């Protein structure tokens, strides 16, 4: 029987979380559900409305659209990610056009997911697209005033994020100069919830939360608690190797874009170890350290990754094969990307003289319309048919050839090799004649002009797949024998840190906020402006939740900050606490402002999700000396503990994977960066010395970089930048910092990189905004196999 397109119902799966009952996640394992998202990047509202009839017929469940709120003016694509107000007037159309789009698509059975920017506002001042005036930190049309923003340097002074290993820096400093909103403030939460409620009242299905990594997860949960209707959300949280903020921190507030899946596909399709390793011996997913499939949004690419080199893009010969794999594989909720051609990083979509985006004509003016390509649209039908059916009949050819079934419903072969793959495969498909949907170009569910293949009574398939090609078969009418009970979510990994909540009772004046400062870096090392802000949960109660390594000992105090920037420390001796040694525990430290000698009470119990407090993550356990500004320092006030049974947290441990990014953050608010000296275009050999020693079994290759470099100018640091994502993709702002070895000019860092991967790299000296590249040529290296350990020793040129 030849294949048909299956247009079936959408199923939603609710989850319990700190955000209450209003957060919904579409199940990636719903049998025959339409859960595929297509991102129509920069499409205007009228064009999206016209496209929804096709999207429905092709089996797409959702369309993700660009931000709808008023933004700064300009032709660049990233202007959309600098909001001026939450009025629904943008270069894509008016509020009435937006409402018509949502209504038209809903009628067609396609939900709208809106990209929303809650982390920040603009980098400068001006007149917005809807005509509203604004200045940085003041947005009358919202309204936001200067008191609604973070100033991580204190005294009304902000600075850019400089350390991605410091959660405070990431979530309270500015992302590329953009005014950073204080989402812990109830007033800000109320405004943001009103914006989301407005969109939901129009009929949107959900949201993509831009730059979610830069917003404490508990603050998002607090905002979502104020939302009036169920919705789906997917959050932009980019994994960084060794960082304290992890994608798993956000699974309680919705789905998470799992960028590691996207970059792994890029790496494996482009080289070693090859695509077969995506499926066998251990399929890519939670067992690799990724978030659970039920929480993952697996994207083909997006506006950041296609420009930043952290995914395949339309210029790659592997781009469409990788999309076939994404839609055929059983991990996460997939998003198909549909963009436009560009030669300039900043180039926005074609627009008219008034600044409005032009109507889309597929194949014209650079509009690619990948989602309409038959091989992709037909794979959406494949996904709808196989639902949550498990992987079966996995067969590896070469390292770049893989075949697998999806239960007894579908079978997919991908040949990413340079030679044909001819064989006989065992399948679990019922006997019959099937259409190869990869080569069926009709887009008619009742007609197939692709080649037909016969599955024998014993389930055998004979075929030959050309180089760089694929073959996909599925049965369009699964019987009860082929239906599958979708598995429960993957179990959570064992926790390795303790969740610690500070809960203080304090009377505060209008405009005052509370912070907690302490003797360890995670509490600001006694620096008031680095202290951790608390969220006000009632008129006199303030809370914040963070995570610390077991056994960490520290001293701390609470401080009040006035709207004018003055600081009031509580009196008395420092409070003292040591984190329990059991990482499965959750601790709440209760106290009252102003009396530190006797009123700290620690309650240790089963961990629970924070609801309205900010959350910070850390694993360091070092303690610094007491603050010189405090006259009384004592360790006499030890806390008493009430211990009860513990339970595993669902999201407590920072996941790790060999194929991972360095300390970088990818946000749609990207601003193009430049430097005075760029990496050389052609790599050549260098004087790098390599020594290799055995290492324990690992999924990646461990590489230690030792660089001798003199830094005569105070404040200069050495960083590592290179051609792969883990080394920042040649972007200095995303370079990996090295640590100076005490008493020497040697700087060092140890990374786990993809095995058997060739890359180029250089060292740079960074002092503020001054960047000095070492001289040409680029250094080159190819990592060894899994579990290897290598040290690369060199001197700055």
Tokens of 611: 């609801």
C-alpha torsion sign, points 784, 788, 794, 797: positive
> Mind giving me the DSSP string for 96-154?
HHHHHHHHHHHHTT-EEEEEEE-SB--SS-EE-TTS-EEBTTBBTTTTB-GGGB--TTB
Check pLDDT > 60 for residue 417. Answer: yes
CA dihedral 751, 752, 754, 757 (to 10 degrees): 40
Q: What is the pLDDT of residue 295?
A: 96
Q: What is the pLDDT of residue 16?
A: 32
Give catalytic residue positions.
Answer: 210, 236
Mean pLDDT within 544-555: 83
- Residue 775, classified by CB atoms within 10 Å of its CB into exposed (0-12), middle (13-18) or buried (19+), is exposed
Which residues on neighbouring strands pair with residue 541, listed in sequence order?
505
- Kindly report the average pLDDT of the chain as a whole number: 81
Give the CATH class of 689-795: mainly beta
Check pLDDT > 60 for residue 770. Answer: yes
| Domain 498-643 annotated CATH 2.60.40.10 | yes
pLDDT in tens, 669-723: 333 222 223 233 333 333 333 333 222 223 467 788 899 998 888 889 999 999 9
Q: Which of 659-668, 688-697, 786-795 has the highest mean pLDDT?
A: 786-795
Closest C-alpha to 615, from 530, 493, 516, 532: 532
Domains 391-482 and 498-643 belong to one CATH topology: yes
Q: How far apart are CA 623 and CA 519, in angstroms?
A: 6
> How big is the chain by its Cα radius of gyration, in Å?
27
Q: How far apart are CA 135 and CA 131, in angstroms?
A: 13
Check pLDDT > 90 for residue 733. Answer: no
213 with 616: CB under 8 angstroms? no
> Mind giving me the DSSP string for 603-659?
EEES----SSSEEEE------PPPPTT-S------PPPEEE------SS-S----SS
* Secondary structure element (H or E) that encloses residue 377, with its range: helix 374-386
Count other C-beta atoms under 10 Å from residue 588's C-beta: 17
3-class DSSP assignment, residue 81 = helix
Helix/strand/coil (H, E, C) string of 274-326? CHHHHCCCCCCCHHHCCCCHHHEEEECCCHHHHHHCCCCCCCCCCHHHHHHHH
Mean pLDDT within 209-219: 97
pLDDT in tens, 40-57: 999 999 999 999 999 999
Tokens of 183: 């989402």
339 with 347: CB under 8 angstroms? no
Q: What is the pLDDT of residue 604?
A: 64
Q: Where are the alpha helices (DSSP H) in 215-258?
A: 217-224
Q: Which of 384-393, 513-522, 747-756 has the highest mean pLDDT?
A: 384-393
* Secondary structure element (H or E) that encloses residue 187, with its range: helix 186-202
pLDDT-derived band at 645, boundaries 50, 70, 90:
very low
Mean pLDDT within 394-416: 97
232 with 224: CB under 8 angstroms? no
714 Cβ neighbours under 8 A, 6+ residues apart: none
Mean pLDDT within 69-81: 97
Check pLDDT > 70 for residue 782. Answer: yes
pLDDT-derived band at 204, boundaries 50, 70, 90:
very high
Domain boundaries, the chain: 12-118+184-386, 391-482, 498-643, 689-795
> Mind giving me the DSSP string for 465-525?
E-TTEEEEEE-SS--GGG--PPPPPPPPPPP-SEEEEEEEE----TT-EEEEEESSGGGTT
Give the CATH class of 12-118+184-386: alpha beta
Q: What is the pLDDT of residue 232?
A: 94
In CATH, the number for domain 391-482 is 2.60.40.1180
Check pLDDT > 80 for residue 123. Answer: yes
- DSSP-derived letter for residue 45 is H
Q: How far apart are CA 468 and CA 318, in angstroms?
A: 8
Q: What is the pLDDT of residue 38?
A: 98
pLDDT-derived band at 601, boundaries 50, 70, 90:
low
pLDDT-derived band at 496, boundaries 50, 70, 90:
low
pLDDT in tens, 301-338: 999 999 999 999 999 999 999 999 999 999 999 999 99
Which residues on neighbouring strands pair with residue 413, listed in sequence order?
403, 471
Q: Which of 4-8, 589-593, 781-785 has the highest mean pLDDT?
A: 589-593
3-class DSSP assignment, residue 263 = helix
Tokens of 239: 């994994």
């Amino acid at each position: 029987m030849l294949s048909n397109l299956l247009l079936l119902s959408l199923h939603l799966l609710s989850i319990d979380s700190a955000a209450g009952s209003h957060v919904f996640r579409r199940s990636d394992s719903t049998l025959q559900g339409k859960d595929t998202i297509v991102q129509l990047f920069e499409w205007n509202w009228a064009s999206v409305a016209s496209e929804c009839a096709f999207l429905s017929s092709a089996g797409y469940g959702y369309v993700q659209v660009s931000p709808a709120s008023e933004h700064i003016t300009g032709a660049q694509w990233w202007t959309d990610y600098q909001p001026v107000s939450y009025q629904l007037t943008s270069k894509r159309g008016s509020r009435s056009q937006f409402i018509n789009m949502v209504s038209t698509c809903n009628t067609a059975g396609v939900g709208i997911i809106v990209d929303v920017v809650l982390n920040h506002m603009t980098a400068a001042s001006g007149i917005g697209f809807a005509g509203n005036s604004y200045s940085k930190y003041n947005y009358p049309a919202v309204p936001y005033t200067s008191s609604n923003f973070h100033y991580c340097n204190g005294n009304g002074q902000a600075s850019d994020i400089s350390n991605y290993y410091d959660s405070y820096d990431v979530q309270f400093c500015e992302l590329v100069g953009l005014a950073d909103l204080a989402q812990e403030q109830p007033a800000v939460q109320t405004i943001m919830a009103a914006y989301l409620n407005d969109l939901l009242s129009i009929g949107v299905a959900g949201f993509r939360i831009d730059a979610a990594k830069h917003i404490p997860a508990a603050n998002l949960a607090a905002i979502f608690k104020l939302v009036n209707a169920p919705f789906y959300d997917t959050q932009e949280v980019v994994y960084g190797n060794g960082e304290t903020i992890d994608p798993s921190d956000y699974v309680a507030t919705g789905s998470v874009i799992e960028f590691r899946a996207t970059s792994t596909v890029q790496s494996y399709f482009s080289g070693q170890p090859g695509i077969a390793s995506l499926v066998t011996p251990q399929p890519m997913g939670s067992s690799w350290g990724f978030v659970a499939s039920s929480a993952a949004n697996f994207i083909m690419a997006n506006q950041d990754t296609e420009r930043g080199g952290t995914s395949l893009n339309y210029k790659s010969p592997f781009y469409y094969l990788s999309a076939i794999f994404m839609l055929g594989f059983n991990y996460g909720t997939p998003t198909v990307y549909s963009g436009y051609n560009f030669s300039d990083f900043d180039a926005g979509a074609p627009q008219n003289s008034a600044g409005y985006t032009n109507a889309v004509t597929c194949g014209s003016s650079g509009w690619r319309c990948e989602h309409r390509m038959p091989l992709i649209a037909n794979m959406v039908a494949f996904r709808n048919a196989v639902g949550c059916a498990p992987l079966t009949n996995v067969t590896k050819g070469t390292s770049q050839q893989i075949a697998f079934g999806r239960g007894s419903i579908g079978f997919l072969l991908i040949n990413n090799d340079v030679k044909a793959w001819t064989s006989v495969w065992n399948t679990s498909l019922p006997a019959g004649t099937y259409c190869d949907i990869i080569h069926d170009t009709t887009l008619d569910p009742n007609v197939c002009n692709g080649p037909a293949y016969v599955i024998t009574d014993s389930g055998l398939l004979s075929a030959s797949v050309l180089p760089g090609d694929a073959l996909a078969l599925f049965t369009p009418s699964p019987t009860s024998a082929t239906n599958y009970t979708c598995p429960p979510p993957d179990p959570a990994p064992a926790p390795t840190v303790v969740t610690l909540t500070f809960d203080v009772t304090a009377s505060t004046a209008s405009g005052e906020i509370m912070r907690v400062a302490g003797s360890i870096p995670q509490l600001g090392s006694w620096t008031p402006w680095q202290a951790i802000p608390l969220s006000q949960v009632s008129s006199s109660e303030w809370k914040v939740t963070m995570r610390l390594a077991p056994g960490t000992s520290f001293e701390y105090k609470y401080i009040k900050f006035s709207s004018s920037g003055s600081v009031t420390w509580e009196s008395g001796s420092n409070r003292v606490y040591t984190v329990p040694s059991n990482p499965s525990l959750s601790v709440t430290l209760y106290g009252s402002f102003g009396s530190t000698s006797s009123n700290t009470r620690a309650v240790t119990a089963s961990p629970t999700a924070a609801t309205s407090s900010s959350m910070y993550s850390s694993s360091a356990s070092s303690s610094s000396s007491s603050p010189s500004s405090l006259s009384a320092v004592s360790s006499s006030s030890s806390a008493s503990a009430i211990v009860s049974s513990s339970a595993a947290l669902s999201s407590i441990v920072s996941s790790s994977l060999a194929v991972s990014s360095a300390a970088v953050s990818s946000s749609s608010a990207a601003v193009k960066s430049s430097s005075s000296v760029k990496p050389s275009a052609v790599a050549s050999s260098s004087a790098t010395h390599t020594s290799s020693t055995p290492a324990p079994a690992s999924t990646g290759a461990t590489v230690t970089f030792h660089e001798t470099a003199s830094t005569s100018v105070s404040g200069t640091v050495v960083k590592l930048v290179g051609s792969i994502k883990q080394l920042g993709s040649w972007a200095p702002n995303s370079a990996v910092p090295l640590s100076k070895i005490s008493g020497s000019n040697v700087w060092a860092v140890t990374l786990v990189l993809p095995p058997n991967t060739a890359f180029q790299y250089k060292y740079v000296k960074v002092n503020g905004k001054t960047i000095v590249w070492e001289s040409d040529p680029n250094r080159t290296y190819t990592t060894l196999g899994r579990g290897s350990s290598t040290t690369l020793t060199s001197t700055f040129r």
